[in-house]
């Protein structure tokens, strides 16, 4: 059985005082909601302050990136042990913004995914095609390459913890959400890739989130699709009211 999952990716937003205020409001708003897993992923510098607010709540903490070594001469990087130390449970890996602006390769993403799992963090691995790739009929090929790249050297027992986020690049921050039909087609395809690479049980159990202009106005239709288990939300996760609404509207979806 897959439990709904709503994760907020705050990206490069919010200083400590703002992050504390927003996390307090979210905590209040979701206090009695147990029908979906909830996670917020702020910037590194506010992780600890946010953790102090949410530590005894139903909200988990996630980071937006990780390095694949725990310590050493890696200037500017943060490893799993540091993230665990400030209360993180999840980490977003391979976001398209990092692939684009920081040239993150499938190889790096594979290292990061394995390293986070070995350290006890749950990776939310992002995959998604650009508009050009979609329009030239390559969407599935790209997803297949990114998926198998991220899972390189990942045994089944490790994969069982992974959360996948399908985030078409053309839908991120554009207001152009993928239609539920397009999203479902891709989620179903990803589930098939998991089945082919691993087995049916892992495919049935893996949570696949949709990301890209998710709002309280479109979440319900997305969540009606059988292979959409939740959302990785950018802009709408920055506003407590809309994030709370997204969690409310994703409660108790029974899948599988």
213 binds ligand 13P (CB under 6 A): yes
Number of H helices, E strands in the chain: 12, 8
62 binds ligand 13P (CB under 6 A): no
The pair of three-digit structure tokens given for residue 129, joined into one six-digit string: 């095609």
Closer residue to ligand 13P in complex, CB, 208/232: 232
Closer residue to ligand 13P in complex, CB, 149/234: 234
Stretch that binds ligand 13P, among 20-28, 99-107, 193-201, 205-213 (CB under 6 A): 205-213
Indicate which residue of 95, 133, 184, 225 is catalytic. Answer: 95
Closer residue to ligand 13P in complex, CB, 193/246: 246
Give the Cα-Cα-Cα angle 118, 124, 128 (nearest 5 degrees).
Answer: 130
- How many Å apart are CA 127 and CA 94, to the nearest integer? 7
Q: Which of 146, 131, 231 is nearest to 190 (CA)?
A: 146
Q: Is 187 among the catalytic positions? A: no
Indicate which residue of 97, 144, 167, 184 is catalytic. Answer: 167
Size of the site for ligand 13P (CB under 6 A): 14
Q: What share of the chain is helix, strand, coil (3-state, %, to 5)?
A: 45, 15, 40
Q: CB of 24 within 8 A of CB of 243?
A: no
Among 212, 216, 230, 240, binds ligand 13P (CB under 6 A): 212
Our CA dihedral for 37, 43, 44, 48, rounded to 10 degrees, sits at -60
The pair of three-digit structure tokens given for residue 229, joined into one six-digit string: 């288990």
211 binds ligand 13P (CB under 6 A): yes
Per-residue contact flags (x/-) with ligand 13P for residues 162 to 181, judged by CB under 6 A: -----x----xx--------
Token pair 């590194």 in the structure block, residue: 44
Q: Is 107 among the catalytic positions? A: no
Closer residue to ligand 13P in complex, CB, 230/235: 235
35 binds ligand 13P (CB under 6 A): no
Which DSSP string do the residues of 32-90 spell out, in sequence order?
T--SEEEEEE--GGGHHHHHHHHTTSSEEEEES---SSSSSS-TT---HHHHHHTTEEE
Closer residue to ligand 13P in complex, CB, 98/198: 98
Among 91, 110, 208, 233, binds ligand 13P (CB under 6 A): 233
Closer residue to ligand 13P in complex, CB, 59/198: 59
- Could you give the C-alpha distances from 96 to 48, 64, 65, 143, in angstroms and in order? 25, 12, 12, 12
Stretch that binds ligand 13P, among 52-60, 137-145, 195-203, 229-237 (CB under 6 A): 229-237
Q: How far is CA 185 from the centre of its chain?
A: 19
Q: Minimal distance in Å, beta carbon 72 to ligand 13P? A: 28
Active-site residue set: 95, 167
Binding residues for ligand 13P (CB under 6 A): 9, 95, 167, 172-173, 211-214, 232-236
């Amino acid at each position: 059985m897959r439990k709904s999952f709503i994760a907020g990716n705050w990206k490069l937003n919010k200083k400590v005082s703002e992050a504390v205020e927003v996390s307090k409001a979210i905590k209040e708003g979701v206090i009695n909601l147990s029908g979906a897993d909830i996670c917020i992923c702020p910037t590194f510098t506010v992780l600890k302050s946010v953790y102090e607010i949410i530590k005894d709540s139903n909200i988990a903490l996630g980071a937006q990136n990780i390095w694949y070594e725990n310590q050493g001469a890696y200037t500017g990087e943060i490893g799993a042990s540091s993230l665990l130390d400030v209360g993180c449970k999840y980490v977003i890996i391979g976001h398209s913004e990092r692939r684009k602006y920081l040239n993150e390769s499938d190889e790096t993403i594979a290292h990061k995914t394995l390293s986070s799992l070995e350290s006890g963090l749950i990776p939310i691995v992002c995959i998604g095609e650009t508009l050009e790739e979609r329009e030239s009929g390559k969407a599935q090929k790209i997803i297949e390459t990114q998926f198998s790249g991220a899972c390189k050297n990942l045994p089944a027992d490790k994969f069982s913890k992974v959360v996948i986020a399908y985030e078409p690049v053309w839908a991120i921050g554009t207001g152009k959400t993928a239609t539920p039909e397009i999203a479902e087609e891709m989620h179903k395809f990803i589930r098939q890739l998991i089945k082919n690479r691993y087995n049916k049980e892992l495919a049935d159990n893996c949570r696949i989130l949709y990301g890209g202009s998710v709002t309280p106005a479109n979440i319900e239709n997305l969540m009606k699709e059988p292979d959409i288990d939740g959302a990785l939300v950018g802009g709408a996760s920055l506003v407590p009211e809309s994030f709370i609404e997204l969690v409310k509207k994703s409660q108790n979806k029974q899948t599988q």
